[in-house]
Structures are given as structure tokens and as C-alpha cells.
Amino acid sequence: MKRWLGNLAALLGSAAVMALLFEGACRTVLNSGTQYHIEMWKYAVQLKRISANPEIGHEHVPGGVARLMDAEVRINKDGLRDREHPPAKAPGEVRILMLGDSTMFGWGVKQDETIAKHVEQALNKDAPDPFVEVINSGVGNYNTAMEVAYFLERGVATKPDVVVLNYFINDAEPTPIYRDVPWWARHFYAYAVLGGAWDGFKRRMSGAEQDYKAYYAGLYSAPGWERAQAAIAKLAEVCRAQGIRLIISNIPEMHELKPYAFPDVQKKIEDVAKAVGAEYVDLLPAVENEDPASMWVTVPDPHPNAKATKLLGDYLAAYLAAHPTAAAKD
């Protein structure tokens, strides 16, 4: 009996040592600063929390600071990756509120390299004094319904003159149901590494990794797309009632650009914009002649990098300059 207990203790001790060594390797060797699953896990545990509003789902922790994909991320007191914005606009100022997901948040780029900041910089370039204020309310893993829920609860209070709903192809995904995660899942890097490996294995076995086109196409025959349309209609209704100009900007999926892999989704978004009386801007022309991989954050991660966000932001700014924004309300 004593021998058996001794063997069991030795086995458990060895397992504990191996687990600690693996955790150490995850924190050092595998923690390169650009390993997608680790960086997304850091984002979730360091900068996100469950929202009190289940329609919003999750939100940023005000005042949070982290380094993600080798880029510093600072969250302001309002839970946005942006500088602090005063509640009231300056006289004559035009305020633009950008709604969006991780692409608008600026995954993998610096704060002044986000699409929102490129729009602001371009529109104020030749002005004697800055007169356009662009607020970046992008949050990673939001869908359209969550973005609109954020706007209805908080964004409308910023009193924007213009709202730009920046649509990405996966914004028709359903809103997740959130639950608190256990302590070990929030503190052990091994959780992120093993979870990422398991997710990748499942994707390879199911064919989803190779057939991302089928996955995206499937979203548009599922309830999430119906909910996205309803959310856009509600956003348009509130904007009309508040005298806010609404623009729907379609951000292209960056795997294949010319010919573009999802023209049918482009048409769906344009049709929805037309149906609700919103302006529609397709940002594909900004990037379609570029090598797609040259604009990814990393080769496995096709989020727009700094080169791509500048092209996209400058294109949207050119549209806004060519179609002047609504007069600011004093």
C-alpha cells in the first residue's frame, strides 16, 4: 500500500513539474507577442469584462492598459480605445462616431494607426484648427447587434453629427452568452495555448479552416443576419429622430481582394443601407489592387495592418470630404 501511494505521489509530482514547465514555456518561448491565440486571450482577460447589458455582451474595462500584438492599447474612462473626449463639442465642431469590431478597434496597430484616427487626421489635415472629432468605439468581437446596442445605451449620448457603422462580414454572427470563467482560465497561459491548439484541430478536422468562405456564406442564411438587419433598421430610426447622418461603411474581408470573394455580401449590405435610408460606402476600392498578405497583421491573422488601415481610413475620409458632413449643432 505504501509503495502504491509512493508511486502515485511521484506520478503526481512529476505531472505537476511538467505542468509548471509547460506553463513556463507558454509564458516565454511561445509568448512571442504576436501569437494570435495568446494575444486574444490577453485581450479578453486584461481588457474586457461582461457588460451589465446582455445586448452589448462585453465591454472594455475603463482605464485598462495592455500590450497586444506588439501594440500598446489604452482604454479611456468611457471604455474606448481612444483619447478622452469631452461631453460637449466645441462650437463649429463636427463629431463623428465610429461603430465597429476588432477592425475598427485596431487589432495589431497603434492607436494613431486605427481607421478612425486616419479619418480624423485626413479630415483635419488642411484645417487651421481641428474641426472634426472622430470617436473610435470599436470593440473586438462585437457584431452589428452589439454595436447598435452600445450606441443606443451610450453612443447616442456623445451627440454625434455623423454615425459610421463599419460593417465586416462576420458581423452577422450571433451574440454570445457570457459567463464568468474560472480563476485558472484567467491566469494560466497554458489555457490559451491548449485552447488555441484544440480550436485549430477542430477547424482542421471539420474543414472550417480551409472553407472559411462557406462559413461566412452560412451566416447570411442564419438568424444572426436577421438580427443584424433589425439592428441596422433600429439604428437608422434613432438617427433619423435625432437628426444624425448615418453612413454604412463596408470593410472588405482581406483574404482575397481581386476578384473579391464576397460580392454577394457586399450587395446585401448595400441593399440594407438603401432600405433604411443610410449612405453606403464600399471600402474595397481602397485595397483591391494590393497584395492581400502584405496588409495582414501577421500571415495567419488577416486583420488589417497599419498599411491597410491607412488606405481604408484615407478612402473613407475622402468620401466624407467629397460629401460634406452635416453642420455641427452648437
CATH number, residue 262: 3.40.50.1110
The residue ranges of the chain whose pLDDT is under 70 are: 1-2, 6, 128, 130, 202-210, 325-330
CA 286 – CA 161 distance, rounded (Å):
25
pLDDT digit string (tens) for 32-59?
Answer: 999 999 999 999 999 999 999 999 999 9
Any domain includes 42: no
The confidence score (pLDDT) of residue 327 equals 38
**Same domain, yes or no: 153 and 14:** no
- Tell me how far CA of residue 266 lies from CA of 41, 252, 271, 304, in angstroms: 31, 9, 9, 18
- Tell me how far CA of residue 318 lies from CA of 7, 68, 113, 136, 313, in angstroms: 72, 30, 17, 18, 9
Any domain includes 213: yes
**Count of domains observed in the chain:** 2
CA 238 – CA 242 distance, rounded (Å):
6
Any domain includes 77: no
**Same domain, yes or no: 7 and 100:** no
**Same domain, yes or no: 177 and 273:** yes
Amino acid occupying residue 42: K
The confidence score (pLDDT) of residue 330 equals 35
Any domain includes 58: no
The confidence score (pLDDT) of residue 311 equals 98
* Three cell numbers, residue 321: 470630404
The residue segments making up the domain with residue 138 are 88-181+203-322
Any domain includes 237: yes
**Same domain, yes or no: 173 and 306:** yes
Nearest to 162 by CA among 239, 275, 83, 88: 239
**Same domain, yes or no: 14 and 163:** no
